[in-house]
Amino acid sequence: MRIVGFTETSLLDWHGRIAAVLWIGGCDFACPFCHNHQIADDDPGLTPVQSEEIARTLRRKRDWYDGVVLTGGEPLMHPEVFGLCRWLKEIGQKVKVDTNGSFPYALKALLELKLVHSVAMDVKAPLDSRYSRAAGRQVDIAPLRRTIQLLLESGVEHEFRCTLVPGLINPEDVAAIGEAIKGAQAVALQEYHHARARVRGFGGTKAYTRSEVEAMAEVLRPCVKEIRIRGSFA
């Protein structure tokens, strides 16, 4: 497992919290719309961050942080994530994990060990045959459903994140996504920037407008407790 990025202070990656962010290289998906594809590919050109640097900063700012976010990439694909979470707990940091949902048993073990305090799961498309196009490879939907159910039943702080890529999440699909995550604490509707995608221009150049996103939010409102809209959506 390589930590290929370290954001010392973020106000965006853990809703309502001040956090440090560890960017972990590698992912089992190859999403064509991914904004972090160099990290997801664990690009050899990315220089690993030294553990001593991370430890020094986290200890120095211990009272400043509300916690540490593990993102990527896909943190849960690495067995070493257990040791990292234990170490963060030992130095007094709470942990949030960002995941694509394909490793429910690793997540379940981390929650049972009380090593993770918050989880954000990406929902990339309706949970049907279209998901493989969103993930850039053939996907078994069953683990994703297990992760969703785990988060809904565990009581752990959680958020489902939908990047609004035209052609993957369309207005008529939002109701199906809402049913799949019904009872969730929060869903974030995120703006898509096609110029930053792994496949440049994937989904076309037309983005959703603010009014279109607000209409999607209204469809989701009966299914979730809180809706967060992230981006300008001009």
Q: What are the domain boundaries of the chain?
A: 3-230
Q: Could you read off the pLDDT of 173-187 as tens digits, one per residue? A: 999 999 999 999 999
C-alpha to C-alpha distance for 82 and 109, rounded to whole angstroms: 9
The answer to whether the beta carbons of residues 44 and 88 sit under 8 Å apart is no
Q: How confident is the model over 73-93, as pLDDT tens digits?
A: 999 999 999 999 999 999 999
Query: What does the alpha-carbon distance between residue 102 and residue 134 come to, in Å, rounded to a whole number?
Result: 14
Q: Cα(213)–Cα(189) distance, rounded to whole angstroms?
A: 8
Cα(169)–Cα(165) distance, integer angstroms: 6
CATH numeric code, 3-230: 3.20.20.70
For position 51, what pLDDT does the model report? 92
Give the C-alpha separation, 56 to 151, whole Å.
Answer: 32
Please confirm whether the linkage preceding 73 is cis (ω < 30° from 0): yes
Question: Binning pLDDT at 50, 70 and 90, where does residue 110 land?
Answer: very high
